Structures are given as structure tokens and as C-alpha cells.
């Protein structure tokens, strides 16, 4: 079997602190998703009014911040960078969050195990940009992953993709706009140039490491039921 191309770079940097390692060893197994089998958000996080997936949550600031704002919503975060997972675990413990589940690894593997129309929202915020043309095939947004977004979202569900790299923005917007079931919600330039009202700015975003101002592409699953008058 051909090995799947990685969409992310390094998976670890500095050595984890004793506290972080303890959280990875003790807390992560308690709030992690199953290593195999179906990943059903409604079963992992029962009793929640909505279920949200964040792909590549980095240091976990956006994930934990949204989870703290919306305790009635269940959040699943997937991140391959163990240092980011450790940071997220620290925030989860400090805030006493009980509505978050984490997975250290490739989000594509998790998505493939999820049932149809199981998510109310998906966040893909500032993914590894792979800005060079020869690396474009490693970007997370591809025809296959875009189709998975459409499959996983409930009717009327929403996807947000944000980036501060122009090449990635052009690449992602083209693919997403061609994906059946996904409808771009922008009506004017301000809709994608200005941070949405519910956006939480992270430290990574404030570093301005990209080559353009952040852009925010919001899409809706266009299979939402229509009211007949």
C-alpha cells in the first residue's frame, strides 16, 4: 500500500515538561478517541447540543477557548504535534473542561472513521501552508478532504478555513468552491477579510508569519432543508 503523504511537518520540538508528560500519560488516555472503530461524536460526547471538529488545533487556544464559551457543545480536536497536544491538555485541566476530546495524529484518519452528517461545524485554522508549488499536494485541503467536509457536516453545518498564506488561500478557495454541497457564505470582501465575530485570535496568528493578512472562508453545507412558503 502506498504511504499517504503527510500534510504536516514536525510532530515534536522541545522535550515536554514533567507536568506536560504526566498529562499526556494520564489525561490524554481518558479524553482521547478510540484507536480504532467508528468515531461518533454523539457517543463520545453525549448530551451535547452540537458537535464540532477542529483540525490541527496547534497550541489549543482556539479549541479550549471555544469549549469554555460553549459548555453545551462537544469538541473534538486533532493535532499531530505532541507539544501542541500537551499545551491543550494543560488548558483543559486548568479550565476544568469536560466537553473536549483529543487525538494526537492525522485528522484524515479520524474523519474517515466518522459517520455521515455527524458534525455541526469544522474548523481548519492556519494549517501547515506548504507554500511552494511542488509541495501543494501536501496541503490539507484537497479534493478528497473537501468531499469529506461535505460528507461530515449536517445539513446547514458550517466549515471555516483560515490562512495567512496567499498560495494556500487561492488553493483552498478554488477547491472548496468546486466541492458539491459546500456553499461559500461571503457576500462582500469584508466577509472574508475581517475576522468573524466568533473568532478567537491565537498567539500564532498575532505573530504574522504568513505573507498576507489572515483570510477567513466560511462555507455552509448547502443540503440544509428549505422551508416552503
Write out the DSSP string of 181-198: TEEE--SSTHHHHSPPTT
Q: Strand, helix or coil at 156?
A: strand
For residues 106 and 80, the answer to whether their CB atoms sit within 8 Å is yes
Q: Find cell 485554522 and name the residue.
A: 125
Task: Catalogue the E-assigned strands of 107-212.
Answer: 119-125, 153-163, 182-184
Sheet holding 215-221, edge to edge: 100-104, 73-79, 50-55, 119-125, 153-163, 215-221, 182-184
- Give me the helix-helix angle, 82-95 and 61-69, nearest 10°: 30
Query: What is the pLDDT, as a whole number, of residue 3?
Result: 62
- Whose cell is 474523519? That residue is 111
Residues 6+ apart with CB under 8 A from 197: none
100, β-bridge pairs: 75
The predicted model gives 102-126 an average pLDDT of: 97
Ramachandran sector of residue 224 (left: φ over 0; alpha: ψ -120 to 50; beta: rest): beta
pLDDT at residue 6, as a whole number: 53
What would you report as the CA-atom Rg of the chain, rounded to the nearest whole angstrom?
17
Domain ranges of the chain: 18-31+41-221
pLDDT of 227 over the 50 cut: no
Q: Is pLDDT at 92 greater than 50 in this prediction?
A: yes
Residue 213 is placed in which grid cell?
Answer: 493578512
Q: How confident is the model at residue 228 (pLDDT cuts 50, 70, 90)?
A: very low
Fold of the domain spanning 18-31+41-221: Rossmann fold (3.40.50)
**Confidence band, pLDDT 50/70/90 cuts, at residue 5:** low
CA distances (Å), 90 to each of 20, 23, 24, 65, 95, in order?
A: 7, 7, 9, 13, 9
Average pLDDT of span 88-94: 97
Q: What is the mean pLDDT of residues 35-59?
A: 96
Catalytic residue among 128, 170, 191, 198: 128
Phi, psi of 71 (to 5 degrees): -65, -15
- Specify whether 128 is catalytic: yes
DSSP state of 33: P
Q: Grid coordinates standing for 91?
A: 488548558
* Cβ-contact 43, 72 below 8 angstroms: no
Tell me 135's DSSP state. G
**pLDDT for the residue 229:** 27
- Across the chain, what does the average pLDDT equal? 91
Q: What is the pLDDT of residue 124?
A: 98
pLDDT, residue 207, reads: 87
CB atoms within 10 A of CB 1: 3
Tell me, what's the pLDDT at 169? 96
d(CA 210, CA 39): 34
Amino acid at each position: 500500500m502506498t504511504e499517504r503523504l503527510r500534510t504536516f511537518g514536525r510532530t515534536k520540538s522541545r522535550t515536554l515538561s514533567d507536568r506536560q508528560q504526566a498529562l499526556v500519560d494520564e489525561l490524554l488516555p481518558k479524553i482521547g478517541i478510540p484507536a480504532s472503530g467508528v468515531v461518533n461524536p454523539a457517543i463520545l460526547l453525549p448530551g451535547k447540543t452540537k458537535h464540532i471538529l477542529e483540525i490541527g488545533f496547534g497550541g489549543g487556544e482556539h479549541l479550549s477557548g471555544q469549549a469554555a464559551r460553549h459548555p453545551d457543545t462537544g469538541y473534538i480536536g486533532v493535532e499531530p504535534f505532541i507539544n501542541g497536544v500537551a499545551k491543550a491538555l494543560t488548558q483543559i485541566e486548568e479550565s476544568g473542561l469536560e466537553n473536549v476530546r483529543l487525538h494526537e495524529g492525522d485528522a484524515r484518519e479520524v474523519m474517515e472513521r466518522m459517520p455521515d452528517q455527524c458534525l455541526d461545524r469544522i474548523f481548519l485554522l492556519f494549517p501547515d501552508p506548504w507554500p511552494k508549488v511542488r509541495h501543494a499536494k501536501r496541503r490539507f485541503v484537497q479534493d478528497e478532504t473537501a468531499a469529506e467536509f461535505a460528507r461530515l457536516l449536517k445539513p446547514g453545518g458550517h466549515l471555516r478555513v483560515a490562512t495567512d498564506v496567499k498560495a494556500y488561500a487561492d488553493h483552498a478557495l478554488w477547491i472548496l468552491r468546486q466541492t458539491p454541497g459546500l456553499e461559500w457564505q461571503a457576500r462582500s470582501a469584508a466577509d472574508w477579510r475581517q475576522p468573524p465575530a466568533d473568532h478567537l485570535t491565537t498567539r500564532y496568528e498575532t505573530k504574522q508569519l504568513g505573507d498576507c493578512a489572515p483570510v477567513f472562508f466560511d462555507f455552509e453545507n448547502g443540503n440544509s432543508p428549505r422551508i416552503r412558503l
